């Protein structure tokens, strides 16, 4: 297999790059700082982090071997300051520990599907392009979207579409898929789109693409994205040393809700109501660095459409826990 010679910089424009660096800077300016890019992708954020903080070491995690190859070429010039690992981001604590570190100074999460996965039709993520229904971020493991469509009973399909896509026509779509697969296997994105379009009332088709939420839901299911995220954010917060910072960018409401809840829980006092003095162990663990969720500027949204849905939240670890 020939080496991928594509220029990573031309394939992907990192979202909210300057703001991420600004938020992480106070934690990474010390000599020997360690930052984890939990969603390495094509390495755009990691490249800027390594350039900006020349005494820092970066661990980059990604479940997609193709992304790791591309990022590896991009970050090769940083030598052993860039440690790239094939792992899912809920494995963050184990990866850090295995490499001999006791704590981290920064963590960055750029959630959702990557530009690489969206732009390569054969990965099956994009409903606008006909391709095999794969949707695995790591194509070496796990169940494909086609397998889910082929084997899941109606109730499970409906639950997937409702929970992970917030799709109001979930039941209707689940029934349509069951009926269609009895006639022929649904193995390509174009086939699934056709089934969904035929099952969608005309008035709804005029308002939005019928496949958008279903494809999101299938991708989340195939990659266990929300389950992984629910473990990963607390693990990253636990790994932060005092003064360490976490930045997370979400692209849909379900992701943002998980991040928001994790940060909010640890940024509040746990002292029982009516306690005359707040004991140290009840003090907040985190200080929120953003007021609510920040969005990209109008200028960035215009030049980089993938920044349109982003919601950024950040926090700083302000005390140790027992």
Asked if residue 251 belongs to a known ligand binding site, the reply is no
Asked if residue 198 belongs to a known ligand binding site, the reply is no
Asked if residue 209 belongs to a known ligand binding site, the reply is no
Q: Which residues pair with 286 in a beta bridge?
A: 317
Asked if residue 90 belongs to a known ligand binding site, the reply is no
Q: Report the C-alpha gap between 253 and 223 in whole angstroms.
A: 17
Q: Beta strand pairing status for 82-86 and 286-288?
A: unpaired
Asked if residue 110 belongs to a known ligand binding site, the reply is yes
> Could you tell me which residues are annotated as the binding site?
43-45, 62, 89, 110, 117
Residues annotated within a binding site for S-adenosyl-L-methionine? 43-45, 62, 89, 110, 117
């Amino acid at each position: 297999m020939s080496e991928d010679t594509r220029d990573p910089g031309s394939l992907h424009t990192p979202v909210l790059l300057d703001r991420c660096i600004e938020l992480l800077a106070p934690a990474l300016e010390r000599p020997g700082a360690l930052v984890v890019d939990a969603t390495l992708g094509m390495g755009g954020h990691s490249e800027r982090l390594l350039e900006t903080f020349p005494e820092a070491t970066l661990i980059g995690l990604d479940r997609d071997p193709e992304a790791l190859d591309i990022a590896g070429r991009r970050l090769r010039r940083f030598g052993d300051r860039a440690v790239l690992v094939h792992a899912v981001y809920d494995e963050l604590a184990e990866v850090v520990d295995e490499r001999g570190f006791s704590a981290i100074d920064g963590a960055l999460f750029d959630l959702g599907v990557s530009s690489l996965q969206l732009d390569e039709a054969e990965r099956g993520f994009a409903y606008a392009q006909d391709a095999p229904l794969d949707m695995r971020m790591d194509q070496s493991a796990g169940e494909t979207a086609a397998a889910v469509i082929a084997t899941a009973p109606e109730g499970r399909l409906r639950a997937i579409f409702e929970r992970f896509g917030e799709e109001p026509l979930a039941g209707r779509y689940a029934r349509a898929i069951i009926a269609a697969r009895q006639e022929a296997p649904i193995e390509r994105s174009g086939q699934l789109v056709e089934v969904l379009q035929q099952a969608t009332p005309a008035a709804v088709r005029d308002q939005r693409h019928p496949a958008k939420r279903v494809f999101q839901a299938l991708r989340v299911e195939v990659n266990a994205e929300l389950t992984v995220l629910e473990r990963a954010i607390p693990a990253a917060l636990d790994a932060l040393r005092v003064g360490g910072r976490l930045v997370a960018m979400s692209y849909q409401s379900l992701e943002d809700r998980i991040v928001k809840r994790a940060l909010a829980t640890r940024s509040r006092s746990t002292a029982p109501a009516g306690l005359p003095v707040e004991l140290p162990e009840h003090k907040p663990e985190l200080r929120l660095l953003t007021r609510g969720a920040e969005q990209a500027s109008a200028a960035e949204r215009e030049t980089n459409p993938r920044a349109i849905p982003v919601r950024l939240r950040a926090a700083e670890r302000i005390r140790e826990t027992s």
